Structures are given as structure tokens and as C-alpha cells.
Amino acid sequence: MLDLALALPHEICLELGARARTRRLSLNVSVDEMAQRIGLSNKTLGNFERTGRCTLETFVRILESLNATADLQSVLVTQNRTIEDMRAKEALVGRQRAYRLSGRTK
């Protein structure tokens, strides 16, 4: 399985399309049946499975039909940090000031 943290955007798209196809097949659902369920053409669904490209709304509808919307639960969730984590980060980063360009004319 592809490590998405190390993949390029087009590789992630290809992987998600392939995973959706694998999930659909494991549920024993045809492209035609699934496309009809979610109101897409079978060409659009097949294109997504091959390329991983579609609109976000279409992607969510595909996940919904595959009973996989729960997989989105951890996407883009802000991580809670402790005060110690924040202090350690501040100590590493420190305060930075903007610099002036020398030789600027008014």
C-alpha cells in the first residue's frame, strides 16, 4: 500500500481511485449499479477509479456508497497540543523580526 505521506498529489489520486475500486469489488457491486446509486454515469465512476480525479462532492458520494465516510473522520482535524508542546516549539522557533531592505529611497 502506498504511503500517502510520501506520495505526490497525482499518486495519491491514483491510489484513492484504486482503493475505491477494490472496495467496490469487495462489496460485489458493479460499476453500473454503483453509478446508478449515486447518480453518476458509469463513465465518470470508471474514470475516477482509473485516475482518482473527480469533484470533492462526487468523491464524498462515492465514499458514502462504499460505506466509507467514517474514513474521513480524521481528515484535516486540528491536533490538540499540550502546553509543554507549545513551549518547546516556541523555544525552537523564537521570535523573528521583519528586516528592512537597505538602500530604499523614499
**Is 85 within a domain?**
no
pLDDT, position 15: 96
Domain coverage including residue 36: 4-73
The residues of the chain scoring below 70 in pLDDT are: 93-106
Q: Which helix (H) or strand (E) holds 89?
A: helix 83-93
Q: Grid coordinates 497540543 are at which residue?
A: 81
Q: What crossing angle do the helices spanning 42-51 and 56-65 adopt, rounded to 10°?
A: 100
**Is 48 within a domain?**
yes
Average pLDDT of the residues of the chain: 87
**Is 106 within a domain?**
no
